[in-house]
Amino acid sequence: MLSQLQEGARMESETAMTKALEDAFKEAQKLPEREQDQLAAAIRAEIDAEHAWEAKLASSGDALAELADEALLEHRSGRTVPLDPDEH
């Protein structure tokens, strides 16, 4: 099962797998099949969550730009105060 995930990752990506990830997969191949399947599911869930986050961020560009413009306007009009990182 894990080798199928590795092959899928290689085919879907334009870049080669890093040495660290390759080493992790080699270690994971030593796990029982059930644990490999659980690991594969966790990796896929993480990748899916990353894709969802990227899509959400891309679709919120206008709202973020409006908020940034509003913040700059407030700053330029003197309605902001500097933050002191040492102040609690």
Q: Map out the domains of the chain as residue ranges.
A: 2-76
H helical segments located in 13-60? 19-28, 33-59
pTM of the predicted protein model: 0.55
Query: Alpha carbon of 13 to those of 8, 9, 30, 37: distances in Å?
Result: 8, 6, 25, 21
DSSP state, residue 80? -
Q: Are 64 and 72 in contact (CB under 8 A)?
A: no
pLDDT of 59: 85
| Segment 14-67, tens digit of pLDDT | 678 999 999 999 999 999 999 999 999 999 999 999 999 999 888 887 888 899
Residue type, 78: G
Looking at the predicted structure, is the pLDDT value of residue 70 above 80?
A: yes
Q: In the prediction, which pLDDT does 61 show?
A: 76
